A and B are shown apart, each in its own frame.
Chain A
Amino acid sequence: MTWQINRRDWLRIMGASAAAAGVGFNPALAAAGQPAPLASPGEGGGFQSHTVAARTTMANRGPCALVNGKVIQPQRELPVLHTTDVLVVGGGPAGVAAAVAARRTGAKVALVERYGHFGGLWTGGLVLLITGHIVKGGKQVCQGIGEEMMRRLEKLDGGIINRRPGVDPTVDAEAAKYLMVEMVEEAEVKVFLHCWGVDAIVNGNDVLGAVFESKAGKQAVLAKVVIDATGDGDIFAAAGAEFEHRTHNIGLVSRVGNLDRISPPKPAEAPSNLPPAANSAQAKPPAPKAPDPLRRLGKATPAPGVNWVNMRGPEVDGLDVETLTRMEMNHRKFIWQNLQKIKANEGFEKIYLVETAPQLGVRITRVLLTPKAVNYADMQAEARLPDVIGYGGGTSKAWPIPYGALLPEKLDQLLAAGRCIGAEIRMADVVRLIPNCFVTGHAAGAAAALAVQDGCRPRDIEIAKLQKVLREQDAYLGEPAAS
């Protein structure tokens, strides 16, 4: 049966729709069917701002006092915002992977994030290159949730480039943020953004939850197992776990645009501080030369003509707030001034600074001391660890990650994930890479959920069961034994 309308019917439908739309958009008419807004008598209805409480003070507060010149924080009760099975603190690559994995393994999960988006340094730090998931020969060791993210980014227009076997792909920060919202919502993870985890709730050796600072003051979330995916190990540090405090390079990533509008000068005029030919014999070994500044125009991103520009920066302490402040300001000055220098080269006039990363590129600060640590010898020996929960890459050989590297020595009900897990310094420098954070996050999430399920401490869970769950979730735990 065909459905046809004539011109008169069409006009009638259009007219009716227009009238309906007029009613809908007119606040006076639309309000007719709704309860009166919380408007005070003096305010016009046109503002999208209404009084929540006309005159109030903050209920959830406990101001510090100055006692004998010392600032004293009084003891007080904190409101419990939420109670859950698994609490993940930090919404970076490790935290999101942990939350999704724990939820998929069957636990109730809450995820708390300090910024307004997911992805941590991956998105907020503009570290857009996914590097560290492959080893020599092109084998990809980051599977599971990390691989799922990369696959789903492929489906987003402008989500990811260079997604080929054996190659490090580059993502778009906004696409990654969008994807993680999608994944967290799909998994039905309870999310708290704009909450900065500041303290742990501890009873004896058991971590029972964490405290968050937000615009609503300090609040608590109680959980059976807490996963510290803060990167800096803020929660395990607050809970009293032992850790190694390290310095590392801190940089600031930026993005540069209009790189497709560079008209390169003739070769003869090419700005060159190129080194002398490699085979020219020199009496003494020269100090490494500074690189060509034009090499600092970064690497391509999915956005056309836009590069992301990494920065190593000086080796400093990322836990010191004055250092962080100095880094932010110095780096910002350098990025701007360096770009002006590059723009002074012929053909480079049109490039411009798109943005600097919202988050400073802190690489390593606290490294948890664990009964077992990710170590170089295991990698060199290609050891098959009985408690392996994943493999990391970014090296010539894949390195096994023992479950013990996620567990603090004394504290219970707490797991670490991401760059702060137990690792030798040689390995900490690859543990921190984004795909390896996916791997440790995935494992920590699954382990936490199993501990909740079995009602035991995370250190007592059955490793074989964890490995089985991880394999079912497509994680890579090494090639199956030959026999």
Chain B
Amino acid sequence: MAISTEKLTHILQSFVTSTTDIQGAAVVTPDGLPLAASLPGGMDEERVSAMSAAMLSLGDRIGSELARGGIDRIYVEGDKGYGILTSCGEDAVFLVLADKAAKQGLLLLEIKRTLSDLKAVLM
């Protein structure tokens, strides 16, 4: 199975540039390695990937141990913005970094749309 990193990167780049208030995005493996990323300068791809994987795996455990079911999404809301982790099938995790000004409904819609693009490439 050859995953096209170029296609993934292209999807991420157009997602980041075409959506207002989105600052960065990455697709990483569940064990924390980068597959593709379009991140703000100064942010280390490898580090971002490892953190995303750790967070999602913990979220998963909270979902099952505390009877919340399968996890769709994890939100980190800070006073400067959001970090949103979405499971992207078996083999990937999708991270989005957004500005505090982002409209949440719009953001979720955009994530959903991009997610299906990404999944198509990852299939």
| A and B held together in a complex | no
Query: A interface vs B, CB < 8 Å?
Result: none
Query: B interface vs A, CB < 8 Å?
Result: none
